[in-house]
Amino acid sequence: MDSQLAAKVILVDDEEEFIDLMSQRLETRGLKVVAVTSGEKAVAIANDQNFDVAVVDLAMPGIDGIETLKQIKTRRPDIEVIMLTGQATVQSGIEAMKHGASDFLEKPVDLNVLMEKIQQAKQARMDALKKKSEDEMKNILKSKSW
- 146 falls in which pLDDT band (50, 70, 90)? low
| Structural domain span for residue 129 | 3-143
Tally of domains in the chain: 1
pTM of the predicted structure, to 2 decimals: 0.89
Phi, psi of 29 (to 5 degrees): -90, 10
Distance CA 4, CA 7 (A): 9
pLDDT digits (tens, 9 = 90+) for 75-88: 999 999 999 988 76
Between 90-98 and 65-75, two packed helices, what is the crossing angle to 10 degrees? 10
For 94, other C-beta atoms within 10 Å of its C-beta total: 11
What CATH number should be reported for the domain holding residue 9?
Answer: 3.40.50.2300
Across 106-124, average pLDDT: 94
